[in-house]
Structure 1
């Protein structure tokens, strides 16, 4: 089975679970606990490899990451638990931008290849970057049309897609420093959970903040 097929088969049940979690507080709570625990476990392995000779630095950065993930999970929980209208649609919108940013980067990058963006992640190409923006824009236009949202959200889409890509590069940089390919093997065809959520853990909180305050 090809890597792309594994990705699709893995992503399908996860997408269904994500939708259920968005509309059910019990599933949401359990999902956030499990996701947080896995992300912390995977980043701890990365930090151990980076700071092999300095356990104090590893401990400090791990605790900072734990704090960030706790804030990340808490923000999602309170946002989706709020009684305000369309909160699920907003979250699905942000989540979809992140997912299609990843899909676009993978498909365009693998198909068109081309010049590498940076040595941090040799799989990241300019074609993949363009594909990330294109696919995220397509899904945002579908959302805007179907839910009758403001056309100004097109600019929001580019911002969230950019943050998601930068988050991806940041985690890729950490993996390169740790000399590992994947953060784990939790998801067949994807690697670890952090491999797939690297952009989301940065883009989703910022996206929520933008919607709440603006």
Structure 2
């Protein structure tokens, strides 16, 4: 096992432990989300700064506009999670499920992509393959049998369909950040997580999967 893989596994264990603690302890969730939000916004800020120069008024305007939009979106996301935690505890399970779908989509894409390789999915990210995308769907669907009894208001088919939709949004979020990194000519958003890059590299799919997942479970 090479050093890079060891770092990736160690970091994954720490992040999984943090996610578990966030689910069971509200104060851990609040503190962690605030810290992660600040870091993610800083990493996004750095990407936009590399993509858009700062020598013209129009460029300065668009840099500021994108940064404000990102900050507003992340703040709104945190607010939604706090509302769920405080007033709608039953939705906490939907929140957890959406996060797990995004995580398994990421793992499935990595495993299938490395194993089967094949045709590239898009020019945006050369490492993304069609087989990897299929793997994302397959891995995320593994959750359905385990949560089917818990999410009693959803049939097996309906839960499977919601899972696929969340996985699609998660993959699109991943591609969006990959596009930004490609434009900025960087491999990772930062090196804060050994073997993983930055927090934005890890939560790119999650930050889009959460609102979509909650909306689907609430109104679908």
| 8 Å CA contact retained: 2:49, 2:63 | yes
Which moved further from structure 2: 201-210 or 161-170? 201-210
**Per-residue deviation, 1:20:** 1.5
| 8 Å CA contact retained: 1:22, 1:80 | no
Does 2:24 correspond to 1:23?
yes
Matched residue, 1:12: 13
Q: What is the SS of the residue equivalent to 2:148?
A: helix
Report the RMSD for the aligned CA atoms in angstroms: 1.7
Which portions of structure 1, spanning 4 or more consecutive aligned residues, are displaced by more than 6 angstroms? none
**Per-residue deviation, 1:89:** 2.4
Q: Distance in 1 between matches of 2:122 and 2:39?
A: 28
Alignment of 1:138-177 (within 5 A): 138-144=142-148, 150-151=155-156, 152-177=158-183
Q: Distance in 2 between matches of 1:150 and 1:3?
A: 42
Number of residue-to-residue matches in the alignment: 213
| 8 Å CA contact retained: 2:121, 2:130 | yes
Residues 161/9 of structure 1: CA separation in 2 closer, same or farther (3 Å cut): same
TM-score, structure 1 length as denominator? 0.93
Which moved further from structure 2: 107-116 or 1-10? 1-10
Gaps of 5+ in 2: none
Matched residue, 1:52: 53
- Aligned counterpart in structure 1 of residue 87 of structure 2, from 62, 82, 89: 82
**Per-residue deviation, 1:184:** 0.6
Cα distance per residue 1:111-160 (max 9 Å; x no partner):
11111011110000001001000000112222225666631200000000
Gaps of 5+ in 1: none
Residues 83/116 of structure 1: CA separation in 2 closer, same or farther (3 Å cut): closer
